[in-house]
Amino acid sequence: MTTTTIPQLIDGEWQVSRSEQTLPVTNPATQEILCYAPYATPDEMEAAISSAKAAFEEWREVPPSERARFMMLYQALLKEHHDELAEILARETGKTFADAKGDVWRGIEVAEQACNIPSMLMGETAENVARAIDTYSYMQPLGVCAGITPFNFPAMIPLWMFPLAIACGNSFILKPSEQDPMTPNRLAELFLEAGFPKGLLQVVHGGKEQVDTLLTHPQIKAISFVGSVNVGQHVYRTGNQHLKRVQAMTGAKNHMVIMPDADKNQVINNLVGASIGAAGQRCMAISVALFVGEAAEWIPELQVAMAKVKPGAWDDAEAGYGPVISAQARERILGLIAQGKDEGATCLLDGSDCVVEGYPDGNWVGPTLFANVTPEMSVYKEEIFGPVLCTMSPETLDDAINLINQSPFGNGTSIFTSSGLVARHFQHHIEVGQVGINVPIPVPLPFFSFTGWKNSFYGDQHAYGKQAVRFYTETKTITARWFDAGMSSGPNMTINLR
Ligand code: NAD
């Protein structure tokens, strides 16, 4: 670990920023300063963008199968360094080691998928669309793309973006979260080690000012953003205003529906992990559990199971989850818990005074469980992003579906039931982009795409999978005819092909 300012990757070199503004990156369990993140200067931003532009001009000519070979080396290096990456990630995020390994792994899966790029870039053909005329399409790269990523998955989310963007033939500028920039830097070191040409990946650090440079710079063609809804709206609007392609994956409030015919033990085990795992700091975390009808009788057992989960430091094998990312995040979560009590929710478990032995300075929040929550309450409406679960008890499945469909968010939802008919009714009528059936956190594997709806996503093409390939490419459609001597000529004054 270093207590110096971490470098930025610009033009294929690790460079120390000339910026005087830095942010300490801390271990959330101890407040120990691990390093400082710089805020890239305007000159550094410009250098990164112009180097990425130059790298793109060479890289676009490299055949997809050669690009895939680089990616195969990269994904192998990520696997070789899986534990090391997870340790860096765990130290700066506070995640448990096992969960940090999961974060890295879900990113590796996307890098693996990027090795498949030659077949993913295949266009369409049709012969004889008119006499002796054929039409075919190609998917060509866009140019310099940029990614802005959140604190909660510092390996997985950067890896959702740059491997596919680069495999498609683009260059990429990554602006990771300033709260945990060490993991993305290590991902980029391994990228260089895989032998990719210089300048294809640039890593700049900072916050709003650096993001705004990317959103407004004429050389940047596409922006991938993951983060909170307010910032996502700003990114989407500003990027669009500057005529860029933008995909913004944003906040969430995810409901799980529990039917009385579900397997009770499965429900409780899955719900505990899905709600307070990773300290609730997942965009697909379950934050509202809807116990339909008699299933509400299981809430006391859920309370007992949640109370058994102990937070702890990343290297404590007994810890169920770690601290939240910052003291500021903790204060916000505690404020929302207090508000929930003031607004009349029944607090069955209150994690506000959580203490972890040996770690007096950690950003701890214990498992927190509310019952009798109503849709007007702040704990229901706000994305708490902490280990806090709200429960509600609708009378029927359709009451549960109506409630979920009224939510402004649509990232994920799940239903636990033993009835195929009930599950099918739910999957058909629910207005949410990712649905789990007896699967609490239905994050799709990378041959599908991450398809949040409503205020959880702004854009047209989603992250990873085929949709990301479309997002990072432009389609060129060619209509071709080869004359032979006997073909008739004379002006064609219509729009018809002949
Ligand atoms: P955040 O919005 O605070 O930060 C995200 C990124 O935006 C960071 O790189 C940050 O530096 C930058 N940023 C912050 N303020 C900015 C501003 N005013 N202008 C321009 N850029 C700015 O989000 P976070 O707290 O790091 O991450 C948590 C959020 O991310 C949650 O809302 C969570 O639901 C969401 N998230 C969504 C998904 C998804 O796929 N939908 C996945 C993970 C996280």
Alpha helices in 177-298 (DSSP H): 182-193, 208-216, 229-241, 264-276
d(CA 42, CA 454): 34
Burial 213-237 (b: 16+ CB within 10 A, else e): bbbebeebbbbbbbbebebbebbbe
- Reported as a single tens digit per residue, the pLDDT across 431-464 is 999 999 999 999 999 999 999 999 999 999 999 9
User: Is the distance from the beta carbon of residue 417 to the nearest atom of ligand 1 less than 6 Å?
Assistant: no
Residue 496 tokens, joined: 């018809």
| Pocket perturbation via mutation, ligand 1, pick of 177, 178, 229 by most ligand atoms within 8 A of CB | 177
Dump the DSSP string for 375-391: TTSHHHHS---SSEEEE
For residue 232, the ligand 1 atom closest to its alpha carbon is 2
DSSP state of 298: G
Average pLDDT of the segment spanning 346-351: 98
The residues, ordered by sequence, that sit 6+ positions from 311 with a Cβ below 8 Å of its Cβ are 279, 319, 320, 321, 322, 323, 354, 356, 364, 365, 366, 387
Helix/strand/coil for 110 = helix
Is a pLDDT exceeding 70 seen at residue 1? no
The residues, ordered by sequence, that sit 6+ positions from 36 with a Cβ below 8 Å of its Cβ are 3, 4, 5, 6, 22, 23, 24, 25
| pLDDT tier for residue 418 given thresholds of 50, 70 and 90 | very high
- Reported as a single tens digit per residue, the pLDDT across 213-242 is 999 999 999 999 999 999 999 999 999 999
Average pLDDT of the segment spanning 16-39: 97
d(CA 295, CA 109): 36
d(CA 136, CA 479): 7
Average pLDDT of the segment spanning 88-109: 98
Per the listing, tokens 């508000």 go with 339
The predicted structure's pLDDT at residue 175: 99
Phi, psi angles (nearest 5°) of residue 256:
-115, 135
User: Is the distance from the beta carbon of residue 207 to the nearest atom of ligand 1 less than 6 Å?
Assistant: yes
For residue 385, the ligand 1 atom closest to its alpha carbon is 31
The predicted structure's pLDDT at residue 498: 75
Is a pLDDT exceeding 90 seen at residue 2? no
The predicted structure's pLDDT at residue 490: 82
User: Is the distance from the beta carbon of residue 455 to the nearest atom of ligand 1 less than 6 Å?
Assistant: no
User: Is the distance from the beta carbon of residue 451 to the nearest atom of ligand 1 less than 6 Å?
Assistant: no
For residue 153, the ligand 1 atom closest to its alpha carbon is 43
d(CA 147, CA 5): 22
Average pLDDT of the segment spanning 337-366: 98
User: Is the distance from the beta carbon of residue 206 to the nearest atom of ligand 1 less than 6 Å?
Assistant: no
The letter for the amino acid at 211 is V
Q: CB-based burial of residue 496 (10 Å sphere; 0-12 exposed, 13-18 middle, 19+ buried)? A: exposed
User: Is the distance from the beta carbon of residue 135 to the nearest atom of ligand 1 less than 6 Å?
Assistant: no
- Reported as a single tens digit per residue, the pLDDT across 127-148 is 999 999 999 999 999 999 999 9
For residue 206, the ligand 1 atom closest to its alpha carbon is 11
335 or 3, greater pLDDT: 335
User: Is the distance from the beta carbon of residue 281 to the nearest atom of ligand 1 less than 6 Å?
Assistant: no
Average pLDDT of the segment spanning 268-280: 98
Residue 315 tokens, joined: 């290297």
The predicted structure's pLDDT at residue 484: 87
For residue 25, how far is its CA from the centre of ligand 1 (angstroms)? 16
Identify the residue whose C-alpha is closest to ligand 1 atom 40.
Answer: 249
What value does the mean pLDDT of the chain take? 97
The predicted structure's pLDDT at residue 78: 99
For residue 232, how far is its CA from the centre of ligand 1 (angstroms)? 7
**Catalytic site includes residue 390:** no
Instruction: Find the catalytic residue in 283, 347, 354, 390.
Output: 283
User: Is the distance from the beta carbon of residue 234 to the nearest atom of ligand 1 less than 6 Å?
Assistant: yes
The residues, ordered by sequence, that sit 6+ positions from 416 with a Cβ below 8 Å of its Cβ are 256, 257, 258, 259, 262, 263, 266, 267, 270, 438, 440
| Pocket perturbation via mutation, ligand 1, pick of 152, 215, 235 by most ligand atoms within 8 A of CB | 152
- Print the SS3 string covering 63-105: CHHHHHHHHHHHHHHHHHCHHHHHHHHHHHHCCCHHHHHHHHH
Range of lowest pLDDT (273-287, 345-359, 483-497): 483-497
Sheet containing strand 220-226, edge to edge, reads: 13-15, 8-10, 201-203, 171-175, 144-148, 220-226, 245-249, 457-458
User: Is the distance from the beta carbon of residue 481 to the nearest atom of ligand 1 less than 6 Å?
Assistant: no
| pLDDT tier for residue 87 given thresholds of 50, 70 and 90 | very high
| Pocket perturbation via mutation, ligand 1, pick of 149, 283, 286 by most ligand atoms within 8 A of CB | 283
Is a pLDDT exceeding 80 seen at residue 416? yes
